[in-house]
Chain A
Amino acid sequence: MRISHIKLENWRNFRLVDVDLPFRVFLIGPNASGKSNFLDAIRFLRNVATEGFQRAVKLRGGVSKIRCLAARKKPDIVIEVCLSNSKKDSNNDWTYSLSFSQDNNSRPILKSEKVEKGRETILTRPDEEDKKDVLRMSQTALEQINANLAFRPIAQFFSTVHYLHLVPQIIRNPEGYAIPSPGGDPYGKDFLEKLAGTTPRTRDSRLDKIQQALKIAVPQFSKFEITKDARGVPHLAAYYEHWRPHDAQQLEDQFSDGTIRLIGLLWSLLEGEGPLLLEEPELSLHAAIVRKLAPLIHRMQRLKKGGQRQVLVSTHSVELLMDPGVGGEETLLLTPGSESTKVHSAAGVDDILKLLEQGIPVGEAAMSYTETKNMHQLELPFDD
């Protein structure tokens, strides 16, 4: 299953978003255009499904932090997603929509919640009971096992959303950081724990694949394995070819940022089935590797037994989108306006499409549109 369409109203810096999402999506736009906020709408659904609506809003600092500043007169925040199976039969597609606001005491309150399957309506709220008991509107049906029986697959699907923004420093020194974050462990705090906790067979098969990739990407790299120190804390040990008879060993605290990020990226692509949200996977990686990321993501999406896995990537990298296999329809262009950001598929912008039709890669045809107008004046404030 994948999120085939998303509609947002008044979500963070978007007044209105209404776009299709293929299996692989690249989000591009200037700094602070809302790439992470776009991904956060999907993380929000995960939080609602796993931790509940109240907690999901609280994690983001309340309704007023979530609501778009361009919104007038405190209207509702709306998230609507269409979920499709890879087959073309739309009768099995799900639509889930949620709208909410806050009451007079700034408490988050649902305005509506709807579920459809094909053309059949499964749930419409507020229903009669909600009208009798207003408190019911402080929780979604999605988060309640008693109430979501008829659409359990949606709740399960949302709970498989995984967000990744690995920070090498945190992997090296997990005790040193305590960062609360909505939706699991995006920064890699217990990455090594998770790795060590995987069943040995699965783990070894994954590590073997990653090892082969690292041999290509990292000079002198020969192999790595999971070890535990005297306190039972897991470590990644890598071996490098060396002029000495035995390879030189390094633990993760000595790995380079690029090595750690590549391991984390590949692991997260291999782990899990649900939508994977990747923030700037190009960070710390050599340009030649970055150019390979788009096809690599594609190949790893196809490895999944239960059908293709959806991957959404935010990026600033022209290199990443220079792969000729990246389509304009896979690329969402975020354009900040005076009040809110607009989101278009790059293939939907006629002038970009015409360049793509001439064989110019997306990275080049669309990236020029993400430059801000006065970029060349960046040095001026620092004049003597």
Chain B
Amino acid sequence: MTEQVYIQLAVEGDLDEIVLRKVIRHSSCPFEIYVCHGKKGKGFLRKRILQYANAAEKGAKPFIVLTDLDMQECAPLLVGEWLPSDYKRLLLRVAVREVEAWLMADRDNLARFLGITRSIIPQNPEDVENPKQVLINCARRSRTRGIHDDIVPYPETTSRIGKNYNGRLIEFVEGYWSIEDARQKAPSLDRALKSIHHFYDALSKRC
């Protein structure tokens, strides 16, 4: 497994991009990421995905796409809706229910980073209905200076997240998040890693 394969990413937002980049790096598949598209939310990604898939089929660099399941029933259903047929050069992975669940799955490091006790973080984050909200509630109890201020929305704001929510969590992902620990508690992350391997194998065989 040494042959380098150039790929493009498409994601919902900045945090997802950093998470996906780190997951791909962790897979140790020699993917070289060319560019990252999207970053305008989930609706936009949904609108674009067939165009990405068709561009890839016609010879553009293959795509890896990451989206959140949110309140939908299950991941295969979402994939079937977004991609009615099979595309060999586009891999769509779904975080159950939000990418924040993957971060909370590394309880030890996240507890240390947020400055909270480990037990506040849910044990099985993929069972949580609204991981973003749960993570924010964890940050509410933070003893670390700046964490509360950055991650938790101010009272009376219409925003659901704090003013530097992405920035702080990106800092966590890049510096502290252990994917090996997280995949034990986040099955959708574990499956994503495995399918990234398969994707690489399939692409490099065909090259």
What residues make up the interface of A, taking CB atoms closer than 8 Å to B? 350-351, 354-355, 357-360, 364, 368-369, 371, 376-377, 379-380, 383-384
Is A384's CB under 8 angstroms from B145's CB? yes
Is A369's CB under 8 angstroms from B164's CB? no
Quick one: given A351-B35, A351-B61, A368-B36, are A376 and B170 in contact (CB under 8 Å)?
Answer: yes
What residues make up the interface of B, taking CB atoms closer than 8 Å to A? 8, 14, 17-18, 34-37, 48, 51-52, 54-56, 58-61, 145-146, 164, 166-167, 170-171
Q: How far is the CB of A358 from chain B (nearest CB, A)?
A: 4
Interface pairs (19), CB distance under 8 Å: A350-B59, A351-B55, A351-B60, A351-B61, A354-B56, A354-B59, A354-B60, A355-B51, A355-B55, A359-B51, A360-B51, A368-B37, A376-B17, A376-B166, A379-B167, A380-B167, A380-B171, A384-B145, A384-B146
Q: How far is the CB of A74 from chain B (nearest CB, A)?
A: 36
Quick one: given A360-B48, A368-B35, A384-B145, are A354 and B18 in contact (CB under 8 Å)?
Answer: no
Query: CB-CB < 8 A to A368: which residues of B?
Result: 35-37
A358 to B8, CA, bound (A): 16
**Residue from A358, A359, A369, A380 whose CB has the most chain B CB atoms within 10 Å:** A358
A360 to B56, CA, bound (A): 13
A354 to B8, CA, bound (A): 12
Is B14's CB under 8 angstroms from A376's CB? yes
Is B36's CB under 8 angstroms from A358's CB? no
Q: A355-B51, A355-B52 are in contact. List 8 more A-B contacts (CB 8 A).
A: A355-B60, A360-B51, A364-B37, A368-B36, A368-B37, A376-B17, A376-B167, A379-B167
**Nearest residue in B to A355 (C-beta to C-beta)?**
B55
**Nearest residue in A to B171 (C-beta to C-beta)?**
A380
A383 to B167, CA, bound (A): 10
Contact with B34, one of A351, A360, A364, A383 (Cβ below 8 angstroms)? A351
Query: CB-CB < 8 A to B145: which residues of A?
Result: 384
A377 to B18, CA, bound (A): 11
Q: How far is the CB of A354 from chain B (nearest CB, A)?
A: 3
Query: CB-CB < 8 A to A377: which residues of B?
Result: 170
Query: CB-CB < 8 A to A355: which residues of B?
Result: 51-52, 55, 60
Query: CB-CB < 8 A to B51: which residues of A?
Result: 355, 358-360
Contact with B164, one of A350, A357, A379 (Cβ below 8 angstroms)? A379
Query: CB-CB < 8 A to A359: which residues of B?
Result: 51
A358 to B54, CA, bound (A): 7
A369 to B167, CA, bound (A): 21
Interface on chain A toward B: helix, strand, loop, or mixed SS?
helix
Q: How far is the CB of B113 from chain A (nearest CB, A)?
A: 14
A305 to B14, CA, bound (A): 48
Is B35's CB under 8 angstroms from A354's CB? no
A354 to B35, CA, bound (A): 14
Is B48's CB under 8 angstroms from A354's CB? no
A360 to B52, CA, bound (A): 9
Query: CB-CB < 8 A to B8: which residues of A?
Result: 351
Query: CB-CB < 8 A to A384: which residues of B?
Result: 145-146
Q: How far is the CB of B45 from chain A (nearest CB, A)?
A: 12
**Nearest residue in A to B60 (C-beta to C-beta)?**
A354
Those 8 A-B pairs whose CB atoms lie nearest each other, nearest first: A354-B60, A358-B51, A354-B55, A379-B167, A358-B55, A351-B60, A368-B35, A355-B55
Query: CB-CB < 8 A to A358: which residues of B?
Result: 51-52, 54-55
A377 to B17, CA, bound (A): 13
Q: How far is the CB of B203 from chain A (nearest CB, A)?
A: 15
Query: CB-CB < 8 A to B167: which residues of A?
Result: 376, 379-380
Query: CB-CB < 8 A to A376: which residues of B?
Result: 14, 17-18, 166-167, 170
A351 to B8, CA, bound (A): 9
**Nearest residue in A to B54 (C-beta to C-beta)?**
A358
Query: CB-CB < 8 A to A351: which residues of B?
Result: 8, 34-35, 55, 60-61
**Nearest residue in A to B61 (C-beta to C-beta)?**
A351
**Residue from B14, B17, B146, B171 whose CB has the most chain A CB atoms within 10 Å:** B171
**Nearest residue in B to A358 (C-beta to C-beta)?**
B51
Q: How far is the CB of A30 from chain B (nearest CB, A)?
A: 13
A383 to B150, CA, bound (A): 11
A371 to B55, CA, bound (A): 21
A21 to B65, CA, bound (A): 35
Q: How far is the CB of B171 from chain A (nearest CB, A)?
A: 7
**Residue from B36, B48, B55, B145 whose CB has the most chain A CB atoms within 10 Å:** B55
A358 to B57, CA, bound (A): 11
Q: How far is the CB of A306 from chain B (nearest CB, A)?
A: 40
A384 to B170, CA, bound (A): 16
Query: CB-CB < 8 A to B18: which residues of A?
Result: 376
A383 to B37, CA, bound (A): 28
A359 to B34, CA, bound (A): 20
**Nearest residue in B to A364 (C-beta to C-beta)?**
B37
Q: How far is the CB of A348 from chain B (nearest CB, A)?
A: 14
A294 to B34, CA, bound (A): 28
**Nearest residue in A to B37 (C-beta to C-beta)?**
A368
**Nearest residue in A to B59 (C-beta to C-beta)?**
A354
Q: How far is the CB of A352 from chain B (nearest CB, A)?
A: 9
A379 to B18, CA, bound (A): 15
Q: How far is the CB of A148 from chain B (nearest CB, A)?
A: 46
A326 to B18, CA, bound (A): 31
**Residue from B14, B145, B167 whose CB has the most chain A CB atoms within 10 Å:** B167
Query: CB-CB < 8 A to B54: which residues of A?
Result: 358
Q: How far is the CB of B12 from chain A (nearest CB, A)?
A: 14
